[in-house]
C-alpha cells in the first residue's frame, strides 16, 4: 500500500511539473514573440498560459501590455482589470488601471485607483497624474493638497502656483488664490521671470486689469524689461490706444531680452491691419516702419528679418527697396526659395528684365528642379533679346511641370511670345493654341495672341480673338485692358480709353492706370494723363518707362 501511494504522489508531482513547464515555456515564448513584433503569435502563447492557469495575473498583465501595443484599448483594460482582481495589492496593476481610466476620461476611477498607492509613492510623474485626475474629477481640495506635497519636493514654480491659483478660484477662495501668486513672488523676489509668467497668465485669461497691475509693478523695478513692455503694448492695443501701444512696442523692441524672432512675429501679426481698409491702417503702417527701423541691422545677417522687411516694403509699394532685401536674403541664405521667387516677381513687375535674367540663372543653380524659376528666367532672357537662351530655359522648365495644367500652359504662352518676338509667327500661334488647350480662361494668353495678330496686320482677327474671350468672361480686367491696347495701337484712342476705364472697374491694377494715362495723353488731356501716371507709380508701378514719362511729361511707346 505504501508503495502504491508513493507511486501516485510521484505521478502527481510529475504532472504538476509538466504543467508548470508548459506554462513557463509559453510565457517565455510570448515575451520572445512580443519582442520580435509578432504580436499575434505572442497573444496565442499568453492565451495558452491562461488556459493552463486561469488565475495567472501575470498572463493577464502581459496580455494587457500586448493589446496596448496592438491598439486594442478595450482588451487592454479588460486584462488589466482581471490582473488586478487576482492580485489587488500589486502596485503596477493599480498604476496601470489609474492610467487607463485617465486616458478613457473616467477621472474619478483613475483617482480612486491611484489613491490606493499614492501615500507611499515617490515617483513624481505618478503624483502629477493623481493630481490631474483629482482636478478633472472636480476634487479640488485634494488636488491642492497633492500639489502642495509635490511642491515640497520640486520647489515653487509658476506652473504649480498658477494651477493652485485656479483651483482656489474654483473653490471661490479668492484670498488664497491671491496669496498663492504672492507666495510665488515672495519666494524669489528678484526672479522677474516668475512675475512675467503671472502677468502673461492674466493676459491669456482676459484678466486685463490684473495683468496691467502686475506689469506696472515689474516696470517699477525693471523698467527695461522688454517682455513687460511688450505685454503693456498688448494691453494698450486691446484698449484701442494705438499711440500708447506703439510707444511701448518701440521701447520693448530696443531691449535685448526680446529675441529677434519674437519681434518679427509681433510685426507680422500687425501687418495685415496696415494694408487693409480699416481706419487705423496708416497709423499702424507708420508704427511698423518705426519698429523695423529699430531692429534693422545688416551686420546681424538675419535672413528672417530681411525677408519680413522685404514683404513689408513690397506691401507698402516700395518694390525696389523690397527687391534689395530679397537680394540680401539670397546672399545670406540661398536655400530660402521664397526670397528668390519674390525677387524675380518684383523684377518682372518693374520690368527689370536684365536683373531678372541674371538672378534667375543664379536661382536655377540652387533650384534646378523648380519649373517656376525657369519660367521667370526665360521671360527675363526673352525681354533682353536673348531669344535662344529664353527658348532653352522655357523648354527645360516646361518638362519639369507635373500635374499643373495652368503652369504648363504659361510655359507655352511665354514660348509663343518668344517666337513672336523672334518673328516666327507660325510657331507663336502653335504655342498659343497649345496653351489655350491647357488653360482656356487665361486672359493674358488671349491678349498675347491678339497682340501677335495685330503685329501680323490682322487687326480684325485680334479684335475677334478678344471679343470671343470677353463673351465668355466679360468682367476679365486683363481682357478689357488687352482690348484697349489693341485699339490704342490702332490709334483708336477714345475706344482704348473706354476699355481701360472698364478694366479698372474690376481691378485697380497700376498697369491699367498707366495705360489709361497713355490714352488720355494721346487724346490731348495731358494734365489728366500726368495724374494717372503718378497714380500708377503711387500704386507700386515703378518701371523705368513710367518714370521717364513722368520726368519728361510725355508719352513713350513700350
Q: Write down the number of H helices and E strands in the chain.
A: 31, 0
Domain 459-558 has CATH 1.25.40.10: yes
Report the percentage of the chain scoring pLDDT > 70.
97
- The Cα 535–Cα 513 span in angstroms is 7
For 107-140, what is each residue's pLDDT tens digit? Answer: 999 999 999 999 988 999 999 999 999 999 999 9
Tell me the pTM.
Answer: 0.74
**Is the per-residue pLDDT at 16 higher than 60?**
no
**Is the per-residue pLDDT at 496 higher than 90?**
yes
Rounded alpha-carbon distances, angstroms, from residue 299 to 252, 266, 492: 21, 22, 55
For 212-261, what is each residue's pLDDT tens digit? Answer: 999 999 999 999 999 999 999 999 999 999 999 999 999 999 999 999 99
Rounded alpha-carbon distances, angstroms, from residue 432 to 229, 391, 451, 489: 59, 15, 12, 21
For 30-69, what is each residue's pLDDT tens digit? Answer: 999 999 999 999 999 999 999 999 999 999 999 999 999 9
Selection from 409, 413, 367, 369 nearest residue 390 by Cα:
413
For the chain, give every domain's residue range.
Answer: 459-558
All cell numbers assigned to 258? 526680446
Q: Which contiguous run of DSSP H or E holds residue 455?
A: helix 443-455
- The Cα 441–Cα 279 span in angstroms is 37
Amino acid at each position: 500500500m505504501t508503495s502504491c501511494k508513493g507511486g501516485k504522489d510521484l505521478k502527481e508531482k510529475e504532472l504538476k511539473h509538466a504543467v508548470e513547464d508548459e506554462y513557463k515555456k509559453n510565457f517565455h515564448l510570448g515575451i520572445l514573440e512580443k519582442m520580435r513584433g509578432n504580436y499575434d503569435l505572442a497573444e496565442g502563447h499568453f492565451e495558452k498560459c491562461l488556459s493552463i492557469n486561469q488565475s495567472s495575473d501575470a498572463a493577464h498583465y502581459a496580455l494587457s501590455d500586448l493589446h496596448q501595443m496592438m491598439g486594442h484599448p478595450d482588451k487592454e483594460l479588460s486584462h488589466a482589470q482581471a490582473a488586478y482582481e487576482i492580485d489587488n495589492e500589486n502596485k503596477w496593476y493599480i498604476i496601470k488601471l489609474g492610467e487607463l481610466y485617465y486616458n478613457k476620461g473616467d477621472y474619478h476611477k483613475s483617482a480612486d485607483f491611484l489613491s490606493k498607492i499614492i501615500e507611499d509613492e515617490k515617483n513624481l510623474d505618478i503624483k502629477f497624474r493623481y493630481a490631474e485626475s483629482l482636478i478633472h474629477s472636480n476634487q479640488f481640495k485634494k488636488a491642492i493638497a497633492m500639489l502642495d506635497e509635490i511642491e515640497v519636493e520640486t520647489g515653487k514654480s509658476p506652473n504649480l502656483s498658477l494651477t493652485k491659483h485656479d483651483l482656489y478660484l474654483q473653490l471661490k477662495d479668492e484670498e488664497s488664490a491671491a496669496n498663492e501668486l504672492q507666495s510665488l513672488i515672495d519666494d524669489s523676489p528678484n526672479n522677474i521671470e516668475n512675475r512675467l509668467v503671472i502677468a502673461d497668465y492674466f493676459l491669456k485669461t482676459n484678466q486685463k486689469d490684473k495683468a496691467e497691475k502686475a506689469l506696472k509693478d515689474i516696470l517699477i523695478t525693471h523698467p527695461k524689461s522688454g517682455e513687460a513692455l511688450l505685454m503693456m503694448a498688448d494691453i494698450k492695443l486691446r484698449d484701442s490706444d494705438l499711440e500708447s501701444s506703439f510707444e511701448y512696442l518701440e521701447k520693448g523692441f530696443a531691449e535685448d531680452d526680446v529675441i529677434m524672432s519674437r519681434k518679427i512675429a509681433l510685426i507680422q501679426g500687425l501687418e495685415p491691419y496696415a494694408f487693409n481698409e480699416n481706419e487705423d491702417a496708416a497709423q499702424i503702417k507708420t508704427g511698423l516702419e518705426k519698429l523695423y527701423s529699430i531692429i534693422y541691422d545688416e551686420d546681424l545677417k538675419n535672413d528672417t528679418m530681411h525677408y519680413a522687411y522685404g514683404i513689408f516694403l513690397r506691401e507698402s509699394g516700395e518694390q525696389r527697396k523690397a527687391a534689395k532685401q530679397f537680394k540680401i536674403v539670397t546672399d545670406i541664405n540661398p536655400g530660402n526659395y521664397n526670397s528668390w521667387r519674390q525677387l524675380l516677381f518684383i523684377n518682372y513687375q518693374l520690368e527689370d528684365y536684365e536683373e531678372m535674367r541674371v538672378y534667375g540663372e543664379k536661382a536655377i543653380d540652387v533650384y534646378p528642379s523648380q519649373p517656376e524659376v525657369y519660367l521667370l528666367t526665360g521671360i527675363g532672357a526673352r525681354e533682353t533679346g536673348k531669344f535662344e537662351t529664353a527658348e532653352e530655359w522655357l523648354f527645360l522648365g516646361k518638362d519639369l511641370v507635373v500635374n499643373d495644367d495652368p503652369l504648363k500652359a504659361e510655359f507655352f504662352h511665354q514660348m509663343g511670345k518668344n517666337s513672336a518676338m523672334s518673328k516666327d509667327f507660325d510657331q507663336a500661334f502653335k504655342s498659343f493654341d497649345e496653351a489655350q488647350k491647357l488653360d482656356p480662361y487665361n486672359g493674358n494668353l488671349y491678349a498675347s495672341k491678339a497682340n501677335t495678330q495685330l503685329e501680323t496686320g490682322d487687326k480684325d482677327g485680334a479684335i475677334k480673338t478678344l471679343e470671343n474671350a470677353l463673351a465668355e468672361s466679360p468682367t476679365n480686367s486683363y481682357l478689357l485692358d488687352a482690348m484697349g491696347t489693341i485699339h490704342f495701337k490702332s490709334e483708336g484712342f477714345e475706344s482704348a480709353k473706354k476699355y481701360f476705364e472698364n478694366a479698372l472697374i474690376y481691378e485697380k491694377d497700376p498697369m491699367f492706370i498707366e495705360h489709361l494715362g497713355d490714352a488720355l495723353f494721346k487724346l490731348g488731356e495731358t494734365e489728366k494723363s500726368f495724374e494717372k501716371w503718378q497714380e500708377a507709380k503711387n500704386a507700386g508701378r515703378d518701371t523705368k518707362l513710367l518714370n521717364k514719362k513722368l520726368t519728361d511729361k510725355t508719352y513713350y511707346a513700350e
